[in-house]
Structure 1
């Protein structure tokens, strides 16, 4: 009999969040970012759920793009890191993968090879990870044109769009616009999830919503529900033991928590072996019987302890929401000193994913994988 720890994936909430992205994109179109196994939700699952909503997908690498084709999805796919070897260009050409070109060696591969995939240019407007300097963009385009390749798009990535107090996003937008405006009629893309929530942000032609699709806030100091987003993943487990602790008794490795009053303690069959953050501090919230309870003691590989003192009627077998619609993942991430992106992508393979969505009857149905 399997452990009762499961990640429930609400596909209706996923589509709701994409609709918000599309509305906030204004006149631009939104492509769904499904990299990193759909941010831990299952790349094929989320891509299929959005197949009727988006015209394009965006991924990090070729393996992810191939997985979409193997799932039967035919929309164009943007490879945001481009290819990592020249021999991959022919596959991109055949499968309608749009190759992002961000470095000199990739230009040389295109100049020397026979493949002619669709190409977007990456502009380094200040993130300083990948991309051509703004002053190099026109020359790169000219080189590609001499090889019979026309860049059909250009993109950049923001460093501080999540910070509402920063002026850096406006500066990057202006640099990108200045570098790409002379290229004529091409698709341009700047907006990550956070940019959708910046008043007055210019969206150009395509936006690239990622974390917001999965219900998590891309903005500092906010939780997803505050932005109208719905949690897509609910990480849920069960109480497997309950015991009373006397004042002075400690819990867990290192005895990092000690009872100061009579305490009802519950053990939950989930831990960092499932992807729950080991560094979550005492007081991190969980949900039991509609009540917020608190993590106590250090998280173990397969178990964690919670204070059930204020939870009326708690019993072995009760479900425990570790994050989801009642316990925002952004709050859990803050308690662990990290971000929701890491928690979602860190849920391990031993946790089954249960997809949920409504049917025309209005009832929720599920399938496990």
Structure 2
């Protein structure tokens, strides 16, 4: 019998979430973001599940794009950070990839290259994130250079990234949006602006394209949920089993450092999952876990291969009882808050030793 830990991937839920993203922006096309192995879910499997509905995919690097091409994915694939070396341009041309351009060296390299066919190019505006992109005062001249090079670049779009589209306070978002609007009107530029929170909460960002990412996998990216974000379905359910049960007297400690001590005679369950699988070691006592569908608290520090939970209120729990670490019935966003992190780190942190089991998607 193999170790019981498994990541169940519900591809039907993935398709539901993609359709929801499309419904929020019915006049836009949605480029499905599959970077970081589709946020830990498996990029090839997720791309295949969306292949009949998604017009394009987006990744972070040429290695991720080529892996999709090698798996038979035919849709356009956008490199969200563009290329990291000019030597990638022949591969970009050969694999018919789209690129973002955020720096002068990329622009110069693209204009010096002779592709077989012009490369679809999205020019990155730094509207206030201050990470990648051209400042507003520099953006126009770079746009004009690309417009003047139809043999190198085609299908130009303005893109940007919002720092606070998820926040309840809209002030900074509105300043960024005003910057975008001024340039969009001046250049009559088609745009790709909306990440997951903007897709869900800011219709004014819904341009020619949206680029939903984490919402596709069922995580609510908003500080304050709305009707649309509440309709997301979890795609990954991290499942395991209770592999041992211990009886403790009042005051006895559990785990490394003895952080948790029994406040009463207690039953402790040992679960096959630990930080060596990707479960966050920063999870505090009280982090919720489902055992046989009932919520129980984490008790003690997470170990490499195991964690411990307080089963005192679930007397029917036993060796072999089913455990959900996050997913169906237990939001990954809630677990992430207990770990003082975000769902992205939990999803992408599930290590390769955890088998993925895929549920076939519907085709509706």
Q: Greater shift after overlay, 337-346 or 285-294?
A: 285-294
**Alpha-carbon distance change, 179 to 359 in structure 1, aligned in 2, over 3 angstroms:** closer
Deviation at 1:150, TM superposition (A): 4.1
Confirm or deny that 1:141 pairs with 2:162. Answer: no
Equivalent residues of 2:184, 2:190 under 8 A apart:
no
Q: 4+ runs of 1 displaced by more than 4 Å? A: 221-226
Number of residue equivalences: 360
1:180 maps to which of 175, 184, 187: 184
Equivalent runs, 1:126-165 vs 2, <5 Å: 126-148=128-150, 149-151=152-154, 152-165=156-169
Equivalent residues of 2:49, 2:361 under 8 A apart:
no
Partner of 2:193: helix, strand, or coil? strand
Scaled by the length of structure 1, the TM-score of the pair is 0.93
Q: 2:61: which partner in 1?
A: 61
Scaled by the length of structure 2, the TM-score of the pair is 0.95
Q: 1:367: which partner in 2?
A: none
Partner of 2:52: helix, strand, or coil? coil
**Alpha-carbon distance change, 217 to 88 in structure 1, aligned in 2, over 3 angstroms:** same
**Alpha-carbon distance change, 82 to 207 in structure 1, aligned in 2, over 3 angstroms:** same
Q: Give a deviation string over 1:44-75, Cα, whole Å, max 9, x none.
A: 01111011111011111111111111111111
Query: CA separation in 2, counterparts of 1:14 and 1:99?
Result: 25
Query: CA separation in 1, counterparts of 2:198 and 2:268?
Result: 43
Deviation at 1:172, TM superposition (A): 1.2
Equivalent residues of 1:216, 1:223 under 8 A apart:
no
Stretches of structure 1 that go unaligned for 5 or more consecutive residues are 361-369
Q: Give a deviation string over 1:243-272, Cα, whole Å, max 9, x none.
A: 111101000001000001011110001100
Q: Please provide the CA RMSD for this pair.
A: 1.9
Q: 2:173: which partner in 1?
A: 169
Query: CA separation in 1, counterparts of 2:362 and 2:147?
Result: 50
Equivalent runs, 1:1-369 vs 2, <5 Å: 1-115=1-115, 116-148=118-150, 149-151=152-154, 152-184=156-188, 186-222=189-225, 227-357=230-360
Query: CA separation in 2, counterparts of 1:358 and 1:155?
Result: 31
Q: Greater shift after overlay, 93-102 or 267-276?
A: 93-102
Equivalent residues of 2:12, 2:362 under 8 A apart:
no
Query: CA separation in 1, counterparts of 2:359 and 2:72?
Result: 21
Stretches of structure 2 that go unaligned for 5 or more consecutive residues are none
